[in-house]
Amino acid sequence: MATASLEPLADYRAALVEMDGLRLADDRRGKRWNRCVHRVQRAQLQLRQTAEGQAAIAALIDDPVPTVAHWAASHALFWDEDRARTHLERVAASNETGSFDARMTLQEFDAGRLRHDWQPPKHG
């Protein structure tokens, strides 16, 4: 396994764990949240370029941290749709935190509007 291609995985998960712990009401104008989103996106753009990076993201669908699992499933819809869809449908059908987000993710994906190829700013 080429370790260099998976180096962004630690930052991907760490940013999502940080996001999971954020209360947006306490995050003035969402600055911390947005910085985390940009970190996740930078890492995701690198990881998705290889089969092992894609597999590493898909493996995080089973992560115990809900934000990590949801974002990983959202990203993995593009290369491991069955696994990602199963997770998102389960969450969407529940009354768990994130059920609305899971429904919207699937709705946007099915409509062809979900995009994960956008470029975050270089700083922030």
pLDDT tens figures, 50-105: 999 999 999 999 999 999 999 999 999 999 999 999 999 999 999 888 999 999 99
Contact yes or no for 19/63 (Cβ under 8 A): no
Q: Domain of 90: which CATH number?
A: 1.25.40
| 52 is a domain residue | yes
Is the pLDDT assigned to residue 120 strictly greater than 50? Answer: yes
| 119 is a domain residue | no
| 31 is a domain residue | yes
Percent of the chain with pLDDT over 70: 90
Report the chain's mean pLDDT, rounded to a whole number: 91
Domain span at 20: 8-110
Q: How many of the other CB atoms lie within 10 Å of CB of 87?
A: 21
pLDDT band at 24 (very low <50, low <70, confident <90, very high): low
Q: Retrieve residue 30's tokens.
A: 């969402």
Percent of the chain with pLDDT over 90: 77
